[in-house]
Structure 1
Amino acid sequence: MSKTQDLNPLSLDNQVCFSLYSAANAMVRAYRPLLNELDLTYPQYLAMMVLWQHQGISVKTLGDKLHLDSGTLTPLLKRLESKGWISRGRSETDERVRVLHVTDSGTALKELAAKIPQQMRCKLGADAESFTELKTLCDQAYQVLSAEK
């Protein structure tokens, strides 16, 4: 490969966005068999992780944490509720606000899901420092790009 090809700004090999896109797709595919055992999709898993940590949060707060709009979040939450893992109710202080609670079976699911992060670390085979660095770089990219709205 010549030096001119290496510097080609339109070469797919030079695109950070393509590397991120490919890695994100591969990551979701790697999660799929682990999550299938729990009857969870990847977006449902992310939502449950937030809910396990923040019992009783509003739908809006969950959407903010997941970077999802209510049009995407509502069907996801309905599916989690139909599986019996969460309940959706109204805030005691403002009836317009929907709040989310993890049910007992949703709490039991948490114990099953607890092994997934370690299984993924094993699949990736990188050290903790590399994961921390990668996460930091991804978070920085998100912050910069979302601030440009």
Structure 2
Amino acid sequence: MSTHELTHIARLKSTKAGRFTLKKVGFEISRLPPLPGISPPWEHIDIVDSKPLPQNMGQEQTARRQAFARRHDTQARQLIEGNDLTRKTHVIYVDATVGEQQQQPMFTTAWTSHDATTRGNKLHLIREAVSSSLAELCAIVDFAEHVSLA
């Protein structure tokens, strides 16, 4: 399957109409996790933190790294413990790595919550190579599926 087809199928899995279409063309949808209820816009996930990482954060810069980690921890806790309109149920970190494409194209995704209570990883064996951006989007989907099955 091409990257375009995989992305389209993932999109179809996320709505009732999309699942109906998948069922009509022969995809097995009975094992998919239930769709979440409709949530108000302020509860949607903030997928990307747009703040760039500061410069000079090498291993030898321990004080700078510790100060950055403390500020980041404070910001993440504010998201989790915020008021009813700004509170987030999950602050997660996802990553993906695309393996060498010599024999079997593959990529691995990993995720962890800020408090480290939810962790996981998944190996994807695929038919053709994918970009690292698509692999990272799959990491977000893998986390969402992991949480919905828990």
Normalised to the residue count of structure 1, the TM-score between the two structures is 0.25
Normalised to the residue count of structure 2, the TM-score between the two structures is 0.25
Q: Which has the higher strand share?
A: 2
